[in-house]
Each structure stands twice: as structure tokens, then as C-alpha cells.
Amino acid sequence: MPSLTFYGGINEIGGNKILLEQQKSRIFLDFGQSFSLLDDYFVPEGFLSPRERFGLKDYFEFGLMPKLAGLYNKEALTATDLPHKNEPSFDAVLITHAHNDHVAHLKYLHPGIPVYMGEATKKILESTAETTRQSFWREESDIRTFRTGQKLSIGEFEVEPVHVDHSVPGAYGFIIETKEGSIAYSGDLRAHGHRPDLTEDFVQRAVASEPKALIMEGTRVALNEMRKNHTEPFVQEESQKVAHDTKGLVMAMRYPKDLDRFRTFYSVAKETGRTLVISLKTAHLLQTLRSDEKLGLPDPFSDKHIKVYERKLRNYPAWQKPLLEKCVDASFVHEHQKDLIFELDFYYFGELVDVQPAGGACIHSMSEPFEEDPMSQVGDEVLKNWLAHYNLAHHQLHASGHASRQEIMQMIGSVNPRQVFPVHTHAPELFKEGGKPTALLKKNEKCAI
């Protein structure tokens, strides 16, 4: 009989690490970092972090990673009391999408364990690794890619990745055939983005597989009354009004990997005759993903509606150097401010001192009530003070990357699994509303399915 053990993603948003076993076959679904549990003992943004030089020692101390033999690489275990094994004890790790709460712990994995991810996910992580200080895997890691609908035979299991719509390109759910029925795993998904058809494809594949188990994300299941379920087209419409009605600079803030929101602002820029000014990191990401024709992304350096912004640095990292001559700087943004939509991360608000906006608007297009990016915990007060200083009107416009409660219940109803396993949520008991037997899971506890 197959079994599931949830080593993360239980009573927390993110940190998904789900072990599926049958006889000798063992695969992990996602291998992400837990934010909330990490926050119990550490403080983000470098104030107090696990000591990376000791690999997993500090993680094991607080139960932040499963202490399993044959799962990790030698370096990760050197300072711990878990012995390293030459042969891995797991068949594969399958990744749904490129968010840290699903991928960030891959770097600790045993190099003998193949890691499967979508083509776009690999490119996004490669671009992120090159343009930030983060690295996701090691040189010797065995990274393999898949596309939607491709079947992967892994031990006792046959896995079919099916695309879903989320706030990062190339997100997938999985349909996993076991010898005793199938399991559907949603990853993170929504039905109110630019591509609800992708999520619908996943739901239909899940329906057809008549699953024994549906592992379903529930990030927003408890938020029904508190927040409106804005759609991506709504954000576009409202942003367009702001860009149209604003006389001066329009600033825009979004999550760096959210290219759906990039598309939204790109369309708004086109529609309102403004030019979208993006960061070098975004330009690098667009260039990396442009080879994937299905994504249909513009070339940031030749598209007439886009300019790329150069932050003045004392020393430029190697990846930026060949791109600099094609960039604009703060004086360009200052001179053309009424004709621009200027994307700027909170980290880089210092640029405003050089740009000197003479009034305008800021579209704050982020902030989920939890986080896939610790920066959203940044004090609203500081943001508001900066905007007031430059006379920029604050507009909160965001569509979540996650399904609403209503969308979740509809998906459970359509898929009609024998049992629902809620993950990535603080309120698993609310899943009972879907009318199906619902497993209230405990972390690290094995359950037969």
C-alpha cells in the first residue's frame, strides 16, 4: 500500500516536502524551505540565520529538516551526527515550481538523487542564481527536465506533470499512478490568473485519473471573508486607470518572479503610451526564458515598450557588464517620468533619491497575507513615508497566486477524490467543506492511502 509522509507544509504556508513511498520506491514531492518554522528560531534578512557553514546542523537541532539517512550530500552532514551514505535511499525529487518554499533545500540533496522540474523552472532558477547570491543546487546535482503531459517512470510510480496557472511561469501539478490507484498533487495554483485554462487542464486530468488522494494547497482557504479575490485582468484594468489618470511618474512593485504581473504592466504600458522600465534582473530573466516560445515573452533590449534600468554601482557583477550599454539610468527616468512605468523593488528604493520623482503614483502589486518572499514583511510605514516624501499616491492592487476558498472547494468537488490531504495551509479543517473525507495531518507522521 502506498503511503505519504508530510515533512513540511503542514499547518504552515510553504515548506512542502512530501514523501511518497511504495515498497522500495521513495520519491519526494517538492523540497522547499519552511518560512514560518524557520521564523520560530531565526530572523530573516540576515539578522539571525542558520549557520550555513555547518550544513544541516542547526536545521536538525530545531527539527527544521527531516533527519533521514541517504537523503543529503556529504557536506550537508559533515557537522551533524547523521552518517552520510554513498548510495542514496530515494529515487527522485519532483519539483512543482520555482518558489523557494518548494525548491530552496535542493542544495542539501544527495547528488545521486535525480531532481525533476519543468524546463521553465530550471531556467528561472538558473537566472536567479546568476543574478542573486542564492544557489539552488550543486554542480554535481542530477537535474532533469520535463514538459506538460510527459510521463515519467520512477520506480513503482508513473508521474505525469500537468501545467497549472500560478504566479510564476512553468508551474505544475502532478498525477501519480501507483499500483493501487492514483494520487493528484496540486502544487500551488489558481483559477483567476491570465491562464485559468492551464489549471483547468490539471483538474480535468485529475478527474480522469479518479484519484484515491488529492493533495491540495490551501494558502487562502481561511481568508474568504477578509480579502476579495481580485483577478489578474482586474489588476490590469485598475492599473490602466491609474496609469491613465496619473500626470507624473507611475511606479510599480511586484514579486520578481511574477512574470504574469510583468505581462500585466507591460500591457498597461502599451495601452497608455508609457514605456515600462524594468530591472536588469528582470531583463536577465526575460532573456533566459525567451528561448521558450510557448511563454511568448518580449526581448527586453529590443522591444520598443521596454527600457532596462541600470543601478549605479561601484563594481558591476560580471553578468551585468555586457548589458550596461543598453540600459537607461536615473537621469533618463527623471527626464521622462510622465511617460514611464518604473518597476522598482523595495530593496532599491534608494534609486528614488537619484530619480527625484515630481509626484505621481505607486502601484503596490504584492503582499499576500503570508509569504513566499520574506520582503513582504517589510514595514508598511517605511514604504508609506518614502511615497509621501516624493508625493506618490499609493495604490494597492494585487491578485493572489493562490486559489480562493471557493476555487478550492470547486476543484475538490470536480476532482472527487476518495480523500483530500490539505497542505500549504493554516486551516486544514476548512477543507471538509469540500464534502470529501479530509485527512488532518501531523508533520512527520506516515499515513497509508
Q: Which residues bind Zn ion (CB under 5 A)?
A: 99, 188
Output 32 or 50, the one with its CB closest to Zn ion: 32
Output 172 or 390, the one with its CB closest to Zn ion: 172
Which residues have CB under 8 Å from 366's CB, separation 6+? 253, 254, 255, 258, 373, 376, 398
Cα gap 143→137, rounded to integer Å: 9
CA terminus-to-terminus distance, the chain: 7
To Zn ion, the closest distance from the beta carbon of 258 in angstroms equals: 10
To Zn ion, the closest distance from the beta carbon of 44 in angstroms equals: 17
User: Helix (H, G, I), strand (E, B), or coil: what is residue 121?
Assistant: helix
Output 30 or 351, the one with its CB closest to Zn ion: 30
Output 101 or 351, the one with its CB closest to Zn ion: 101
Output 13 or 409, the one with its CB closest to Zn ion: 13
The answer to whether 219 and 424 are in contact (CB under 8 A) is yes
Output 188 or 310, the one with its CB closest to Zn ion: 188
The answer to whether 104 and 90 are in contact (CB under 8 A) is no
To Zn ion, the closest distance from the beta carbon of 424 in angstroms equals: 8
Output 26 or 99, the one with its CB closest to Zn ion: 99
The answer to whether 259 and 251 are in contact (CB under 8 A) is no
Half-sphere exposure of 5 (CA within 13 A, CB side): 12
To Zn ion, the closest distance from the beta carbon of 169 in angstroms equals: 12
391: left (phi over 0), alpha (psi -120 to 50) or beta: left
To Zn ion, the closest distance from the beta carbon of 94 in angstroms equals: 15
Output 340 or 411, the one with its CB closest to Zn ion: 411
Tell me the three cell numbers of residue 429: 479543517
To Zn ion, the closest distance from the beta carbon of 110 in angstroms equals: 25
User: Helix (H, G, I), strand (E, B), or coil: what is residue 46?
Assistant: coil
To Zn ion, the closest distance from the beta carbon of 333 in angstroms equals: 31
User: Helix (H, G, I), strand (E, B), or coil: what is residue 159?
Assistant: strand
Which H or E element spans position 360? strand 360-364
Tell me the three cell numbers of residue 156: 513503482
The answer to whether 267 and 252 are in contact (CB under 8 A) is no
To Zn ion, the closest distance from the beta carbon of 99 in angstroms equals: 4
Beta bridge partners of 143: 115
Q: H helices within 314-439, ranges in order?
A: 330-335, 351-355, 380-389, 405-415
